[in-house]
Amino acid sequence: MQVEVIEPHGMCAGVNGAIAKALALAKARPEGDRSPIYCLHELVHNEIVIGELRDLGFRFVERIGEVPRGATVVFSAHGVPPQVRAEAERRDLKVVDATCPFVARVHRSARDFAEKGMEVCVLGDPAHAEVRGIVGEVEAAGGRALAGPAGAAAAKKAGGAAPLGVVAQTTMNSDEVERAVAELARARRVKTMAKVCGATKERQDAVRRFCRGAGPGAAVLVLGSKTSSNTRRLAEVAEECGARAFTAGAMDELSRLDFAGVERLGVTSGASTPERFFMEAVRSLRRVPEHVAIIMDGNGRWAKARGKNRGAGHRAGAKTLERVLDWCGERGIRYLTVYAFSTENWKRPKAEVDGLMALFARMLKTKERDFVANRVRFRMVGRRGDLSPKLLSIVESLERKTEAFERQLIVAISYGGRAEIVDAANAAVARGEQVTEETFRRHLYAPDVPDPDLVIRTSGECRVSNFLLWESAYSEYWFTDTLWPDFSEADFDSALASYAERDRRRGGV
Ligand code: FPP
C-alpha cells in the first residue's frame, strides 16, 4: 500500500491559538498550585489534546453554572452565546476567551442580520457547540434563528419577500453549504455570510484533489476524533468523491483498521489533530522507524581518495549530516542519533581531534537558527566532562534553546557504549540502588529517548564499534560500502526499505 500525505492537513490557526492560550494559563499558575482551570466545553474536539490538558489540571464542564464563583474559565474555540458571557460576569469568573476569530466573525454577522430584523438560518448541526453559540447570539439580539436541516427546511417553506440572513457552522462541507444556500435563494431572498473557514475548505479541497487523481484502489484516512465535526466532514468529502474513508483518533484505533484492498492511501487530519500523532501514524503505516542511529564512517578514506586532508573529509561528512537531518524530517523520523566522536577517538592525532572539535563548535553555532526554524531539538550524549568549557557551553546553550521541540538530533561526542553503561552503573551505585533493566535505563545519557529501531553504518565496516551497546539490543542493522560523505538519499531510502521488510520479533515468535 502506497501511503501519501495530503497537504494541507491538520491544525488551523484558530485551534493553535486556543491551545496556546490554554497552555499559557497552565504555565502561569504559581508553582504547586493544583486548583483546576475550568473550560466550558472541550477546548477543541480532539481526545489527545483534551487528555493532555486534563493532565495539566483542566476540568471540562458543559454548563457555566458548574464553574465555582471567582474561578478561571476558558471559553472553547467553538464560541459561546452572549447569555453565557453575561452569566460568567455575574459569577465573577475570570474569563479567557479562546473562541476562533473566524467563529467570532460569524457571530457578528448573525447578530447584524438579527439587529436588522431578519430571520437567521444557521446551517450546521444544531447540537454542536458552535451552532448553539450562534443561535444564542441571534436570540440575544432579539431575532429568530432557524438552525440545522429542519431550520433550513422551515426557512424555505416560509418563502416570502422578507430577506433571510444565512450563516454556517465554520467546519461544514463547503460544497454542502453552497448547495444549501443556492436552494434557499431559489425559495426566497437571502443575504449570506455562509462560508466555511478557509483552512477547513483548503483541507477539504486537498482531499478532493487527491481523490480526483487516485484510481479505484484509493482510500483516505482521516486522523482525528469522532467528536470533531471537520474531521467527519473530511471523511464525507472523500466518500462523496467515491473513495473509501477511514477515521482514527489514536494509535490503538489505527491499529484496528483493515486496509485490505487499498492500493493508495491518502492521509489527512482534522483541524484539531496534533501533528505528532499525524507523524506517528504515517510512520507506522509506512513502517518508517521512529529512531535512526548512524555510525558516520569513512570520512578519512573519502578525503584520501581525493588527495585531501582528513579535515576535508569531516567537513564533507558534516554536510551529509545536514542533508540526512532534512530527509528524516521529510519522512517523519522523530529521532536521529549520530556517532560523531567516540571515547576511543581521543587517540587520533591532536590536529585531527582539534579540527573535529572546532568543526563541532562551528557547526552547532552556525546552525542554531536552522534548528529553531525547523523545530529540531539538539542533544548531546557522551562524557560532557571531556569537552572543552567553550564547546560544552555551545552544546548546552543549543540544548536549552531547542529543548521544547519534538524532533531530535542527538549527537554522540566523547561517547562510548561501555562508558555509558559504566557511568549509569556508577550513578545507580551512588544512589544505593539495586537495579532492574527499567531502573538502570533511567541513568543512561538520554533515558527518555526510545531505543534506535535502525542502526546504519557506512564505509563497508560491519561492526558496532562501542555505539549504543545498551540501546541497540534489538535494533535492526544496515551496512553499506558507501563512504559517509557520499551517502545519498537513495542510500537512505534503501536502508528504510530494508527496515520496512523486516519482521522484528524481539525474541518472540
Ligand atoms: C568517522 O570517519 C567519522 C568521524 C570520527 C567524525 C564524524 C563527524 C562528522 C561527520 C561531523 C559531524 C558534525 C557535527 C556537528 C555532529 P573516519 O575518520 O573514521 O573515516 P575513515 O574510517 O575513513 O578514516
Residue nearest to atom 24 of ligand 1 (CA): 300
Atom of ligand 1 nearest to the CA of 310: 18
| Of 425, 420, 445, the residue nearest 437 (C-alpha) | 425
Q: What string of H, E and C letters represents the secondary structure of 113-163?
A: HHHCCCEEEEECCCCCHHHHHHHHHHHHCCCCEEEHHHHHHHHHHHCCCCC
Query: Which residues of the chain carry a pLDDT beneath 50?
Result: none
Torsion of CA 90, 91, 94, 97, to 10 degrees: -60
* Residues with catalytic roles: 297, 345
Atom of ligand 1 nearest to the CA of 301: 23
Cα 86 from Cα 77, distance rounded (Å): 18
Q: Are 132 and 81 contacting, i.e. CB atoms less than 8 angstroms apart?
A: yes
Q: Are 318 and 359 contacting, i.e. CB atoms less than 8 angstroms apart?
A: yes
Please state whether 224 falls in left (phi above 0), alpha (psi between -120 and 50) or beta. left
**Sheet of 190-192, strands arranged across:** 145-147, 119-123, 164-168, 190-192
**Can you read off the three cell numbers belonging to residue 452?**
534506535
**Can you read off the three cell numbers belonging to residue 458?**
557506512
Residue 495 alpha carbon to ligand 1 centre in Å: 20
Ligand 1: list residues with CB < 6 Å: 296-301, 314, 317-318, 321, 340-341, 345, 356, 359-360, 363-364, 411, 459
Residue nearest to atom 12 of ligand 1 (CA): 318
Residue 296 alpha carbon to ligand 1 centre in Å: 6
Residue 389 alpha carbon to ligand 1 centre in Å: 22
Cα 478 to the center of its chain, rounded Å: 29
Residue 340 alpha carbon to ligand 1 centre in Å: 6
Residue nearest to atom 14 of ligand 1 (CA): 360
Cα 16 from Cα 107, distance rounded (Å): 20
Q: Are 220 and 211 contacting, i.e. CB atoms less than 8 angstroms apart?
A: yes
Q: CA–CA distance from 211 to each of 129, 188, 267, 427 (Å)?
A: 31, 35, 11, 56
3-state secondary structure at position 172: coil
3-state secondary structure at position 300: helix
**Can you read off the three cell numbers belonging to residue 134?**
450562534
Pocket test for ligand 1, best of 294, 297, 304, 352 (most atoms within 8 A of CB): 297
What pLDDT shows up at residue 286?
87
**Can you read off the three cell numbers belonging to residue 181?**
444556500
| Of 450, 406, 412, the residue nearest 321 (C-alpha) | 412
Residue 401 alpha carbon to ligand 1 centre in Å: 26
Residue 372: other Cβ atoms inside 10 A: 15
User: What's the angle, vertex CA 491, arms to CA 489 and CA 494, rounded to 5?
Assistant: 110
Pocket test for ligand 1, best of 314, 342, 399, 411 (most atoms within 8 A of CB): 314
Residue nearest to atom 8 of ligand 1 (CA): 340
Cα 91 from Cα 67, distance rounded (Å): 9
3-state secondary structure at position 25: helix
Atom of ligand 1 nearest to the CA of 338: 16
Atom of ligand 1 nearest to the CA of 302: 23
H helices within 374-416, ranges in order? Answer: 389-401
**Can you read off the three cell numbers belonging to residue 41?**
466545553
What pLDDT shows up at residue 239?
95
Residue 300 alpha carbon to ligand 1 centre in Å: 8
Q: CA–CA distance from 381 to each of 4, 129, 384, 445 (Å)?
A: 34, 48, 8, 6
What pLDDT shows up at residue 216?
85
**Can you read off the three cell numbers belonging to residue 482?**
558507501
- DSSP, residue by residue, 340-362: EEETTGGGS-HHHHHHHHHHHHH
What pLDDT shows up at residue 507?
82
Residues 6+ apart with CB under 8 A from 183: 152, 156
Q: What digits encode the pLDDT tens for the residues 151-203?
A: 999 988 887 778 999 999 999 999 999 999 999 999 889 999 888 899 999 99
Cα 63 from Cα 491, distance rounded (Å): 57
Residue nearest to atom 18 of ligand 1 (CA): 300
